Amino acid sequence: MAPRAPLPPFAAIIVAAGKGLRVGGDTPKQFRKWRGRAVIAHSVERLIASGAAPLVVVVAEGASQDANAALSGLDGYILAVGGATRQDSVRAGLEALESSRPERVLIHDAARPDITPEVLERLLTALGAHAGAIPSLHVVDSLAVAAADETMAGKAERETLRRVQTPQAFRYPDILAAHRNWSGKSDAGDDAQVLAASGGSVALVQGDERLKKITFAEDLMDTHSAPIFRVGQGFDVHRLVEGEQLWLCGIKLEHTHGLAGHSDADVALHAITDAVLGAIGDGDIGTHFPPSDPQWAGARSGQFLEHAVKLAGEAGFVLGNIDLTIICEAPKIGPHRPAMRAEVARLTGLDEAAVSIKATTTERLGFTGRGEGIAAQAIVGLTGARNI
């Protein structure tokens, strides 16, 4: 396949000043994770890679720190503060571009992260004959006009209707003037309507289903590929000695001997932690909490596991289940199993039903059979929504 021709020069504005809370939670959707990264990071990265310069990201007042954190590792963008409505925010982005006076500008909603180069090419090409261009899709379902009482009041002609997406492309002087001259009493809906109201011609180009807008929680799932599954295994051993406390699965057990180690030597949590880190390919417990570091002397192993779970989340994965086997002659694990399951579930955010804790002996064979130590083996399943 022949390489794609470079796009003509263009600037871009990404509108990310909304609250976006219909997706659930307290974090605006543009800063939530999608395919392992903040939603807004996908649009910024793709537009920069396509040649957008300058690229203005419009955020709410007080959201600059969150935006920079979401865009960590990316360069080539500038931030602007938006207004009370989307239209106000677009106007702020356009004004931020005035000193550079680009010939063309793309205006995009951060909630549509999956930008395709084909759509960008069609939009910018259409500006050769029109002041604006928008990606659109045909309506495939039958449509009805609804009355106030939620009964059907009439039929809508779907042949004349289109589903409109972003990014939308404009000749910069035309869209800037249209926003400055806007006299409508209500919000225009989108920038194509603002341009059309000023007499500008807006071309319809073929959009793409991949430009779907993230609106609800289920939209944060990757719908273009099957979930990614990872499995990790961990194994750990600690010696039993007199005078030490015995911690297993974050629970202190009364016993004649305890486990020796630099931390609290919770062999069970160490095995689970290594399993999580192994599933995401991020070293082992010694990599993150080296025994040579005095700050971890006597540390509770629960914080090690919580750290591993956090790293898994940052990599785009969530824990699905834990299967742990503790290998020892004593103490008996059965009486403590409910408390152990509850604590592991708390540390990992799992339901107790997804936490399996089993115990076995080695029939008095080997170091565990002689009561010299305790071993633990863990298998952890992770699910994610992207390839990493």
pLDDT digits (tens, 9 = 90+) for 279-322: 999 988 888 888 777 777 768 889 999 999 999 988 888 899 99
119-151 pLDDT per residue, tens: 999 999 999 999 999 999 999 898 889 999 999
254: tokens are 């009364």
Cα gap 292→286, rounded to integer Å: 9
Confidence of residue 90 (pLDDT cuts 50, 70, 90): very high
Please report which confidence band the pLDDT of residue 387 belongs to, taking 50, 70 and 90 as the band edges.
very low
| Residue 5, phi then psi, degrees to nearest 5 | -65, 145
Q: Residue 227: its pLDDT value, please?
A: 63
Distance CA 232, CA 30 (A): 31
pLDDT confidence of residue 344:
95
Whether residue 21 is predicted with pLDDT greater than 50 in this model: the reply is yes
Tell me the average pLDDT across 333-360. 94
Q: Which two tokens stand for residue 108?
A: 């995009």
Backbone angles phi, psi at 212, to 5 degrees: -55, 140
**Span 10-220 CATH architecture:** Alpha-Beta Complex (3.90)
Residue extents of the structural domains in the chain:
10-220, 228-384
Supply the pLDDT for residue 226: 54
Question: Is residue 185's pLDDT more than 70?
Answer: no
pLDDT at residue 221, rounded to an integer: 63
- Cα–Cα nearest to 231, from 271, 277, 267: 277
Query: Of 61-65, 100-104, 262-266, 289-293, where does mean pLDDT reach its minimum?
Result: 289-293
Which residues are CB-neighbours of 338 under 8 A, at least 6 positions away?
Answer: none
Judge if pTM exceeds 0.75.
Answer: no
What gap in Å lies between CA 268 and CA 271, rounded to an integer? 5
The confidence band for 1, taking pLDDT boundaries of 50, 70 and 90, is very low
What digits encode the pLDDT tens for the residues 255-282? 989 888 888 899 999 999 999 999 999 9
pLDDT of residue 55: 98
Percent of the chain exceeding pLDDT 90 equals: 70
Q: Sign of the C-alpha dihedral, residues 111, 41, 26, 218?
A: positive
CA 124, chain centre distance (Å): 29
pLDDT of residue 386: 45
- CATH superfamily of domain region 228-384: 2-C-methyl-D-erythritol 2,4-cyclodiphosphate synthase (3.30.1330.50)
Q: What is the pLDDT of residue 96?
A: 97
Binned at pLDDT 50, 70 and 90, residue 388 comes out as: very low
Q: What is the pLDDT of residues 322-345, one digit of tens each?
A: 999 999 999 999 999 999 999 999
| Spatial distance between the Cα atoms of 30 and 113, rounded to a whole number of angstroms | 9
Query: In sequence order, which residues have a C-beta less than 8 Å from that of residue 183 and are 6 or more positions away?
Result: none
Q: For tokens 């800063």, name the residue.
A: 31
3-state SS string for the chain? CCCCCCCCCEEEEEEECCCCHHHCCCCCHHHCEECCEEHHHHHHHHHHHCCEEEEEEEECCCCHHHHHHHCCCCCCCEEEECCCCHHHHHHHHHHHCCCCCCCEEEEEECCCCCCCHHHHHHHHHHCCCCCEEEEEEECCCCEEEECCCCCEEEEECHHHCEEECCCEEEEHHHHHHHHHCCCCCCCCCCHHHHHHHCCCCEEEEECCHHHCCCCCHHHHCCCCCCCEEEEEEEEEEEEEECCCCEEECCEEECCCCEECCCCCCCHHHHHHHHHHHHHCCCCCHHHHCCCCCHHHCCCCCHHHHHHHHHHHHHCCEEEEEEEEEEECCCCCCHHHHHHHHHHHHHHHCCCHHHEEEEEECCCCCHHHHCCCEEEEEEEEEEEECCCC
Q: Average pLDDT over the chain, rounded to whole?
A: 90
For residues 86 and 184, the model is more confident at 86
> In this model, does residue 186 exceed pLDDT 90?
no
